Amino acid sequence: MSKRKIRMGMVGGGRGAFIGGVHRMAAALDGQVELVCGAFSSNPERSRLSGEDFYLPTERVYGSYAEMIEKEKQLPLGERMDFVSIVTPNHVHYGPAKMALQNGFHVVCDKPLCFNMEEAEELVALVEETGLIFALTHNYTGYPMVKQARAMIEAGELGDIRKVVVEYPQGWLSTKLEDTEQKQADWRTDPSRSGIAGAMGDIGTHAENLAEYITGLEITELCADLTAFVPGRQLDDDGNVLLRFNNGAKGILHASQISAGEENDLNIRVYGTKGGFHWRQMEPNTLLVKWLDKPVEVRRTGVGDLYPTATAHTRIPAGHPEGYLEAFANIYRNFAHCVQARLAGETPDPLLMDFPGVKDGLRGMKFIEKVVASSNSKEKWTKF
């Protein structure tokens, strides 16, 4: 069977949304995914208008994810959607993910995975049972220089890892933005839609995922101090965490949405016995590699000897900056490749079998749970 584009049905992401557009661009970039249907909003009229924006036929713009999954399932295999992309607020991840899996559709889901540990464990079990392909868009691990960093550590270039500092400062919630019309602020600060954590759930989980992905280590204990600085805010907008890892390494994780003037400055420094590195999401094509007594090396996308995984996640030559959407697209490209291989009965390229999945989602939910518990505890260390 010859390959074809993979067909995507989207849940959420209608007019006014942010992350839905990101998913659509990321899916489109490499020409491997086609948007064929969607339930873009809980408001049917908004869903319909959104469908027009994307040039979809009216009959494939649905009023709800349930309707979409049911109706699509009835279409012939060569026509119906291959997977569901879930881009709703946190409290509407679990429902469509579960239903999609139960009906044989692969899933791409925005992070965090869901609302609590119970849901998370159920989804993990479902993915195992069904054998379907599940991608969670911890997109920051899609950058080529993150792949390079991970490969360097895996190959032992930095020696034994001793210290990890991962930071995710933003400033956009420095004021009570949720009291304005701002849709993104609104649900993120609302426990009924966001869950038990604010900044820690929204961006702290990215930091946790990045730290574990890049080092190959696991956090075993943590000590957290979360704060809701903006008066009247119900969820944390800042958190500082001490970390301990399974190999004895120590670390710091802090995430904040009240770091006034910061944009989206996710960054990580890792130090081992032989060397260290610094990677910053806002200048993602650069990886500063530091050595005990040699000059710092500026490793750059597309320059010199990089690990195959870095090269496999780069599209254009050195000095032509790739950004957030390209990293995000790497998840879709890899996911699409695996779905295509599945359809074709082939083995996927191992370099492309690399995207965050449901277990990363479970770990993220656990991180949220533990970090909130630790912050409320007088005990110094909370097991992870």
Q: Judged by CB, which is closer to a second copy: 188, or 299?
A: 299
Q: Judged by CB, which is closer to a second copy: 117, or 242?
A: 242
**In this chain, which stretch among 37-45, 91-99, 113-121, 168-176 interacts with a second copy, using CB under 8 A?**
168-176
Residues 323-352 that bind a second copy (CB under 8 A): 323-326
Instruction: Name the residue with tokens 């990321």.
Output: 26
Q: Is the dihedral of CA 12, 13, 17, 18 positive or negative?
A: positive
300 binds a second copy (CB under 8 A): yes
Q: Judged by CB, which is closer to a second copy: 187, or 291?
A: 291
Closest approach of a second copy to the CB of residue 186, in Å:
15
x/- binding map, residues 171-190, to a second copy, per CB under 8 A? xx-xx---------------
| Sole binder of a second copy in the list 57, 232, 295, 345 (CB under 8 A) | 295
Q: Judged by CB, which is closer to a second copy: 191, or 319?
A: 319
The number of angstroms, rounded, from the C-alpha of 43 to the middle of its chain's C-alpha atoms is: 26
Closest approach of a second copy to the CB of residue 160, in Å:
9
Q: Judged by CB, which is closer to a second copy: 15, or 300?
A: 300
x/- binding map, residues 354-383, to a second copy, per CB under 8 A? -----------------------xxxxx--
| Sole binder of a second copy in the list 48, 290, 342, 359 (CB under 8 A) | 290
Residues 236-265 that bind a second copy (CB under 8 A): 238, 240, 242, 244, 250-252, 254, 256, 258-265
Nearest 10 degrees: Cα torsion 251, 257, 183, 200: 30
Nearest to 84 by CA among 71, 111, 65: 65
Contact 73, 16 (CB under 8 A): no
One-letter amino acid for residue 200 of the chain: M
**In this chain, which stretch among 39-47, 210-218, 292-300, 356-364 interacts with a second copy, using CB under 8 A?**
292-300
Q: Give 79-82's long-range contacts (Cβ < 8 A, gap of 24+).
A: 80/7, 80/36, 81/7, 81/8, 81/9, 81/36, 81/37, 81/105, 82/6, 82/7, 82/8, 82/106, 82/339, 82/343
Q: Which runs of E-coded beta strand occur in 87-124?
A: 106-109
37 binds a second copy (CB under 8 A): no
| Sole binder of a second copy in the list 15, 25, 103, 366 (CB under 8 A) | 25
Whole-number Å distance between alpha carbons of 331 and 353? 10
**In this chain, which stretch among 78-86, 194-202, 266-274, 357-365 interacts with a second copy, using CB under 8 A?**
266-274
* Measured CA distances, 185 to 172, 235, 238, 258, 293 (Å): 9, 12, 15, 12, 46
3-class DSSP state of 38: strand
| Sole binder of a second copy in the list 15, 46, 71, 315 (CB under 8 A) | 315
Closest approach of a second copy to the CB of residue 253, in Å:
10
| Sole binder of a second copy in the list 36, 113, 165, 255 (CB under 8 A) | 165
198 binds a second copy (CB under 8 A): no
Residue 34 tokens read as 């086609």
Q: Judged by CB, which is closer to a second copy: 46, or 163?
A: 163
Contact 202, 196 (CB under 8 A): no
Q: Which runs of E-coded beta strand occur in 90-189?
A: 106-109, 134-136, 161-169
Count residues near a second copy (CB under 8 A).
Answer: 94
Contact 362, 113 (CB under 8 A): yes
Residues 54-83 that bind a second copy (CB under 8 A): 54-55
